[in-house]
Structure 1
């Protein structure tokens, strides 16, 4: 169970929590009843801006049709991807036309509260109790804003990524699955120069993936993570840039690249590119998530390309700093919020609260996880039994507005893949604290992060000598005001009781 700290108090967080910034509650302007009937009055349009894609046509969307009929609303999920979500949200807020439900991180939450753009939900906290109970309860306070309720923080879905290795190539070359950094390097060399596919050509590489993800386990083996993250060691605040393991990690990665065992297109790899290289037999060890490897439709995609390929997962490699596959930021949970404009629309707010209560009820949560009983699943005793049509519900996550019971969901929907998601969930990750830190006003995170990434790749590709790493830090501290950022982090995390 993850722990967050607020002020001097500690609160357990499971999957969704209240985000508060005060103690007083004002008098309620609406009071939804505890039970149906829901279908009364007009059917307001409720828009939810949600990270994702794959939304079907409304006439074919069984979840939307069921929710609309049940609650007498017109629920419109607006899917978006990556930075497009931030851009769309910013534009709509600036235009005074915000979605009725949308997600922000803690830092954005604090900014929007200061700008008076979010609805204070304190008067309705007891009405939202079903959603709180559904997710396990708990509270995260933002003391700098005085203690009012501004949203529901949604817990992360289960971690999905691991290294995957061609077991058939290991067998051909007489190798065991690599468990340490040294063994990983030997495996990468053998996969590159040992003709593991037996075609007599020098056309394979030992290591690949997306550069913003694939190097994570290597940094983790040196006790750190990608440059630019804050975390605790022995109660003290550490930044990965100055962690003693950083330079040795960069040197190790550089050695792999100099040895010619890394996909030469590593820096330009997008998901589809590094996936296809692995599936076509060009790369024998890469970093990827289990759904894109072992879901039935993906297996049908890559198996014909390499009928003899056997992909297996690897534990996070051991190194001088231990083992860690990646990092997670417990304060970066997406916070479901509502715009302050809803103050002027109490009838719509009533429907939105009913919507959140419904999708976290036993009936509603089943709907948004699995679809329609009798069509997408049946019930045998206490078990959900998927039908062949459950595959049509790949978009259902868009309607899980307050999260889901992750392990139950995965075991029900992907029973054959349980070994893979269970393996990924067990892998260690480093807890970082970035989202608890508000940078100084004159610090440009985008500029600093761009400079860090540019120099990182120069170091690992030998374009900049590692003995100039101190000069890199000095430039970052002065020209990019990173020292001021570190000092702000120290002050704020101490005030929250998160470091000594």
Structure 2
């Protein structure tokens, strides 16, 4: 820096006073500057220094980065904050949160995927957390989130949290395109086409090695019934009919979907050991070239291709999600989120402080932060070439950025506002398929409702359905036996849950 040589102390004092006045004047407009991002929504009340924010969230990577790393520093500088992030694996966080909430000694921000647990419901109803719904209109990025998602996370019709947004209907079928091309087939358009694809992958030597060593689709557990039931016309879990709640398992359409599942098993087109297949084995069945279809979510397409291309030269993957069943195109919708962030009143005392915290999340949705989350740090993870981000080979954006920050801390998906780079056809497909699904999404009518019986006995009731479906698919129960077991489920609490949902829905609607 160039030094100024003044001859008198008087001039130095005069200059200092002048600069002080200029700084004070400029501070009135500080909310418009990137450095004051954390205070959006509060006019004339921005603190002089960075805003201290402590966050507890779960993180499922190997090791969370040390404080002061380039990614966290970039976030702090842009949002004018000093962050203290306590991150632990989901299982650890889930175990700790009840005691943290009960103690009242909480940070300003808590990330929770367990906000429907009884202790959290009691906390919401006990006024432990801020209801943020009335403030969202002052934050354009946060207010832009699909209202369906906000409705899905609401408690008693009130919004207490910011959702970590993900697509509402993201189920897809990832498949071996090279196998399909070899067999001269096209992507399925109907459920009959889908069956034929799986049959050909099982019996027509799709890998052209002259051996009978492949099958149609890798399946782990009976979760596929959550897709097949709606495909055949059943509700997605719960449906409201004339004020009464009806569970999918009590409908004939659900059994139609289960019969399709059973046919795939009987014809040996899916994993024979689906009932005990763990995730690692499920993935390995596809990556090793045993199964031709892998049902997962849209964000797994590119990851699976990157995993396979090194070990399987010439592999080509495709993905689709929609094919017509007896009731047309129908795909189950999820909640549209991966947990929420909530804001305790014990650590955020005033509306002004709440607005400052919401302002921090608002700024994280802007281009510079989305670019950071998607591409990493310029010069470390990417370079700008002709104005477009280009990844630097060998950089570890997955462990530096995606796992510790983008996934657990993101609100709106980073690709929404990030700088656009050149992306592959599979990356385009990952973004396109969930959008195509939305008009055909079948929503769970009870997703934002609270049932005491479901909270207390939900795991037991769900296990009853899983067990009876598994036995039916594997031929250990006939249709009459399956129906008899569903009646037991109803008596064990299923009907009571339906009644409680009906009563709760009436209260929320009022």
Most deviating of 161-170 and 106-115: 106-115
Secondary structure at the aligned position of 1:257 is classed as: helix
Q: Which deviates more, 304-313 or 340-349? A: 340-349
Task: Work out whether residues 293 and 299 of structure 1, in 8 Å CA contact, stay in contact via their aligned partners in 2.
Answer: yes
CA distance in 2, matches of 1:126, 1:429: 26
Of residues 90, 105, 122, the one that matches 1:111 is 122
**C-alpha distance in 2 between matches for 1:201 and 1:367:** 48
Q: What is the aligned partner in structure 2 of residue 449 from structure 1?
A: 462
Compute the TM-score of the two structures, normalised by the length of structure 1: 0.76
CA contact (8 A) 1:120 1:340 kept: no
User: How much does 1:386 deviate?
Assistant: 3.9
Matched residue, 1:397: 406
Which residue matches 2:139?
129
How far the C-alpha of 1:52 sits from its partner, in A, is 4.3
Match of 2:29 in 1: none
Cα distance between partner residues in 2 of 1:149 and 1:177: 41
Shift, 1:490, TM fit: 2.3
Higher mean C-alpha deviation, range 61-70 or range 344-353: 344-353
Structure-to-structure mapping, 1:16-415, within 5 angstroms: 34=43, 40=49, 44=52, 46-50=54-58, 52-53=60-61, 56-58=64-66, 61-69=69-77, 71-81=80-90, 83-104=91-112, 107-108=116-117, 110-119=121-130, 125=135, 129=139, 132-133=142-143, 135=145, 150-157=160-167, 159-211=169-221, 213-224=223-234, 229-232=237-240, 237-295=245-303, 298-329=304-335, 334-343=339-348, 352-373=357-378, 376=381, 385-388=389-392, 392=397, 393-395=401-403, 396-398=405-407, 400-404=409-413, 406-409=415-418, 412=421, 414=423
Q: Report how far residue 486 of structure 1 moved.
A: 0.9
Moved more, 195-204 or 271-280: 195-204
CA, structure 1 residues 167+31, in 2 after alignment: closer, same or farther (shift >3 Å)?
closer
**More deviation, 209-218/194-203:** 209-218
Which string of whole-angstrom CA distances, capped at 9 and with x for unpartnered residues, describes residues 90-140 of structure 1?
243245444431244664554322244324558x93896355346478975
Q: For residues 31 and 411 of structure 1, what CA distance do their matches in structure 2 show?
A: 26
Give me the TM-score of the superposition, normalised by structure 2: 0.75
- Residue 342 of structure 1 deviates from its aligned partner by 0.6
| CA apart distance, 1:277 | 1.4
2:444 is aligned, of 432, 444, 452, to 432
User: What is the SS of the residue equivalent to 1:453?
Assistant: helix
* Counterpart secondary structure, 1:334: strand
What is the alpha-carbon distance in structure 2 between the residues aligned to residue 364 and residue 38 of structure 1? 22
**Equivalent position of 2:476 in the other structure:** 463
Shift of 1:197: 2.4
SS of the residue 1:48 aligns to: strand
Aligned residues between the structures: 458
SS in 1 for 2:447: helix
* Unaligned stretches of 5+ residues in structure 2: 1-38
Question: Would you say the 8 A contact 1:125–1:149 is kept in 2?
Answer: no
**CA deviation vs aligned residue, 1:249-300 (integer Å, no higher than 9, x gap):** 11121121122221123223333322221121100122133443324xx534
Q: Is the 8 A contact 2:191 2:325 kept in 1?
A: yes
- Mark the CA change 1:125 to 1:198 in structure 2 (over 3 Å): closer, same or farther: closer
1:24-70 residue CA offsets vs partner (Å, 9 max, x unmatched): xxxxxx998548976627x7461231454366522673221223455
In the aligned structure 1, how far is the partner of 2:328 from the partner of 2:137? 46
Match of 2:489 in 1: 476
- How far off its partner does 1:233 sit? 6.9
User: Equivalents in 2 of 1:256, 1:126: separation in Å?
Assistant: 47
Tell me the SS of whatever aligns to 2:160. strand
- Single out whichever of 229-238 and 484-493 deviates more from structure 2: 229-238
The structure number with the bigger radius of gyration is 2
- DSSP 3-state at the match of 1:64: helix
Q: Report how far residue 304 of structure 1 moved.
A: 3.6
Where in structure 1 are there 5+ consecutive unaligned residues? 1-29
| Closer/same/farther in 2, CA of residues 191 and 336 from structure 1, 3 Å limit | same
Kindly provide the CA deviation profile for residues 333-390 of structure 1, in whole angstroms up to 9, marking residues without a partner as x. 7332112321569998686455334324554444444444565556789x65344278
Structure 1 residue 410, shift from structure 2 partner? 9.7
In terms of mean alpha carbon deviation, does 402-411 or 160-169 score higher? 402-411
Q: Which residue of structure 2 aligns with residue 492 of structure 1? A: 504
